[in-house]
Structure 1
Amino acid sequence: MKKNLYTHRQRILLDLLRKIRKEAGLRQDDVAERLGRPQSFVSKYESGERRLDILELYDVCGALGLTLSKFVEKLQANLKDNKP
């Protein structure tokens, strides 16, 4: 059975990651370079094809120029504002 990666909350997370990247004026290539990963890594987590573990999320936040705790604050606010 295929696991559904596209829950409402997961979509909010992905949208926030993409929004923060764009607000920082970064392309997927830029983030990938900062992470030392291929651009496809960024594309896959932004599209929901791949999930990030907590350490990867920590690194992504650093590449985007914010702390993990600040990202979690933003995520909590978005989840609260976008309840199904």
Structure 2
Amino acid sequence: MMSTELDTYTEENQVNNSTYIDEMVKALEAYPPLLDVKHIMEILMVGENVAYQEMKSGKFPVMKVGKLMRVAKPFFAKYIIESSCGTE
């Protein structure tokens, strides 16, 4: 790929990522600032076991309140975006 083609590709990719980030933020607006396992299940469309596995995986910071696990919405959004864009 020539330099100008590479520049064009990079710019297009950044625009696509920016659009994806905006869409992700809008999609998560309805959720509370701290997400619990039920929210994770709903967002990822997975069962309870998989949701807990993801929360325990260390891929995003999780806060424990007693026995309950919570994740701040911005950290979870970042995890989704990075996973989807292949930057993880």
Task: Please classify the TM superposition score into its range, dividing by the shorter chain length.
Answer: 0.3 to 0.5
Larger Rg: 2
**TM-score for the superposition, normalised by structure 2:** 0.31
